[in-house]
Amino acid sequence: MSNKNIWYLPGPFHQYQEDVKALAKDAGLRIIDANATEGREDAASEVPEVTLRETPHQVVIVGAGDSEQLKDLILRLNIERDLIVTLVESAEGLAPLTHPEAGELPIRLFDALSGIHQGITKLKSERDGLATENEALRGEVASLKALANKTADDSAEIEALKAALDAANVTYRANASKEALQKQVAELTKA
């Protein structure tokens, strides 16, 4: 049985004036990019109305106008492309991350990559601190386990000493130390 709760909406979703994700959540719909799928099974019959954002388009006419302007535009685009390639190589670890000297897009990309790099550096230092704390806690647990085992061994030995003294009808203090009990047992064997 189908729920008919899928909203097939052409993406990208940031092209709409409305918050399509919030609209889908409010209507109980799941959004699937209509450009990425062919079938329309379980398509909802009632979906919210949305409008596309108006974006200014730059039109570049090649072959008309001043060829000097065209050469300048091509030069700027090539410089921007080279800067973006350098930033991508930096993100891949092939080159150091350096601030681009020009171009809005490369500078924005650099700022985003710098923020990501700072976040990763912070996470690494937190991870290293937690790893150090983890090792210290493991050491404490190991020493506490060793102490617990020693105490258990001592209590078993104390019980054995008390049993030997009880068998010989020798009186001893109920809270006598292990050493005092050992001394009394040693005196028994001498006698």
Q: What does the pLDDT read at residue 6?
A: 76
Is residue 11 pLDDT above 80, yes or no?
A: no
Q: How far is 106 from 76, CA to CA, in rounded Å?
A: 12
Phi, psi of 7 (to 5 degrees): -105, 105
Per-residue pLDDT reduced to its tens digit, 103-145: 788 888 888 888 888 899 999 999 999 999 999 999 999 999 9
Tell me the average pLDDT of the chain. 82
Q: How many CA atoms lie within 13 A of 88 on its CB side?
A: 7
Mean pLDDT of the region 74-80: 88
Confidence band of 87 (pLDDT split at 50, 70, 90): confident
Q: Residues of the chain with pLDDT > 90: what percent?
A: 14
pLDDT computed for residue 135 by the predictor: 96
pLDDT value of residue 1: 38
Structure tokens belonging to residue 61: 């006419």
Task: Assign 3 a pLDDT band (cuts: 50, 70, 90).
Answer: low
Q: What is the pLDDT of residue 94?
A: 80
> How confident is the model over 28-68, as pLDDT tens digits?
887 777 776 777 777 777 787 787 777 666 666 665 567 88
Whether the predicted pLDDT of 2 surpasses 60:
no
Could you tell me the pLDDT band of residue 100, with boundaries at 50, 70 and 90?
Answer: confident
- Which pLDDT tens digit goes with each residue over 23-39? 888 888 877 777 767 77
Residue 153 scores a pLDDT above 80: no
pTM score over 0.95: no
**SS3 assignment for the chain:** CCCCCEEEECCCHHHECCCHHHHHHHHCCEEEECCCCCCCCCECCCCCCCCECCCCCCCCCCCCCCHHHHHHHHHHHHHHHHHHHHHHHHHCCCCCCCCCCCCHHHHHHHHHHHHHHHHHHHHHHHHHHHHHHHHHHHHHHHHHHHHHHHHHHHHHHHHHHHHHHHHCCCCCCCCCCHHHHHHHHHHHHHC
